[in-house]
Chain A
Amino acid sequence: MTLKDDNDLVTGPGAPAMMPRRRFWLLPLGLGLALVAPGARAQVDPSRAGEFIRKTGEELVAAINAQAPIGERREQVAAVLRRAVDLDGVGRFILGRWWRIATSDEQQQYQRLFEEMLIRNLSSRFGEYQGVRFTLGRVQARAEDDVLVSTIVERPNSAPFGLDWRVGEVNGQPRVVDVIAEGTSLRLTQRSEYSSVITRNSGKVAPLLDAMRGQIATLAAAEGR
Chain B
Amino acid sequence: MRPTRMFPILVVACLGLAACATPPPASDPESVAEFNALNDPIEPLNRVSYGVHNAIDTLALRPAAEIYRTLLAPPIRTGIRNVLSNLRTPVVLLNDALQGETQRFGTTLGRFVLNTMLGVGGIFEVATDFGLPPHSEDFGQTLAVWGAGEGPFLFIPVLGPSNPRDLTGFGVDLAAQPLTWISGSTALENAMVVRSVAGVLDAREGLIEPLDTLTANSLDPYAALRSAYRQRRAADISNRGETGRADATGSAIGSGLRR
Residues of A within 8 A of B (CB): 1-6, 17-18, 20-23, 97, 121, 124-125, 128, 152, 157, 159-162, 164, 180, 182-185, 188-190, 192-197, 199-200, 208, 211-212, 215, 218-219, 222
Contacts and interface: CB of A to CB of B under 8 A. Distances in A.
A123 B223 CA distance: 23
B243 A162 contact: yes
A217 to B, nearest CB: 13
A3 B30 contact: no
27 contacts: A1-B33, A3-B227, A3-B230, A22-B29, A23-B29, A97-B34, A128-B209, A161-B258, A180-B241, A182-B232, A182-B243, A182-B258, A184-B228, A184-B232, A188-B227, A189-B224, A189-B227, A193-B219, A193-B227, A195-B34, A195-B223, A199-B34, A200-B220, A211-B219, A215-B219, A219-B216, A219-B217
Contacts of B219: 193-194, 197, 208, 211-212, 215
Nearest to B221: A193
Interface of B: 29-31, 33-34, 37-39, 74, 209, 213, 216-220, 222-224, 226-228, 230-232, 234-236, 240-243, 245, 258-259
Contact of B243 (A121, A161, A184, A189): A161
B227 A192 contact: yes
B228 A189 contact: yes
A3 B231 contact: yes
Contacts of B240: 183
Contacts of A4: 230, 234
B235 A182 contact: yes
- What 10 A-B pairs come out closest when comparing CB atoms? A183-B235, A196-B223, A192-B227, A183-B241, A20-B29, A162-B243, A189-B227, A193-B223, A193-B224, A184-B231
Contacts of A124: 216-217
B220 A197 contact: yes
A1 B34 contact: yes
Given A124-B216, A183-B236, A194-B219, A164 B231 contact: no
A6 B232 CA distance: 12
A147 B17 CA distance: 47
Contacts of B33: 1, 18, 20
